[in-house]
Amino acid sequence: MTVFFSKKCEYGLQAVLFMAASDNDCVCPAEEISKKLNIPKEFISKILQSLTESGIIESKKGKSGGFMLAKHPSKIKLIDIVEAIDGLDSFNSCVLGFPNCSPDKPCPVHHQWGELRTKAYEMLSSETIDKFKEKTLNKIRV
């Protein structure tokens, strides 16, 4: 588990990367995503609903139903997925949880954390999921 993202967000990122790495226009049932990524089906289903509500993925009902990307992978940034699930508060709040932490009244790690937070935000905002197809496929095959 990471310090930065919730488990729900980690799984959401994995699910979207999995869909992007699948064949174009592939409809992925929640059960398949659950099995391939080793995520409890009930949990991934809730996450997929959140991602559907945010417009990152679409759902298709029926016998051959499932989930698919709502837009081309080159149009989906990692930060979009993080925002849809965890929100962006972690990029604006004190890592130690001190109220009123600011540059004028910094917590003990304010400046160091600020640099890391800014770099993380910039990376997540600049990277689109189409860039990770091979790495995702290699990770899933493991």
Q: CA 83 to CA 50: how far, in whole Å? A: 11
State the pLDDT at residue 75. 95
Rg for the chain (alpha carbons), in Å?
A: 17
Find out whether 57 and 68 touch, Cβ atoms under 8 Å: yes
State the pLDDT at residue 38. 94
Residues in contact with 1: Cβ distance below 8 Å, sequence separation at least 6, in sequence order: 7, 10
- Given a cut of 50, the residues of the chain with pLDDT beneath it are 1-2, 142
State the pLDDT at residue 1. 38
Domains of the chain: 7-141 (1.10.10.10)
Find out whether 57 and 51 touch, Cβ atoms under 8 Å: yes
The pLDDT tens digits of the residues spanning 86-96 come to 999 888 888 88
State the pLDDT at residue 24. 66
Q: Tell me the whole-structure pTM to 2 decimals.
A: 0.87
State the pLDDT at residue 90. 83
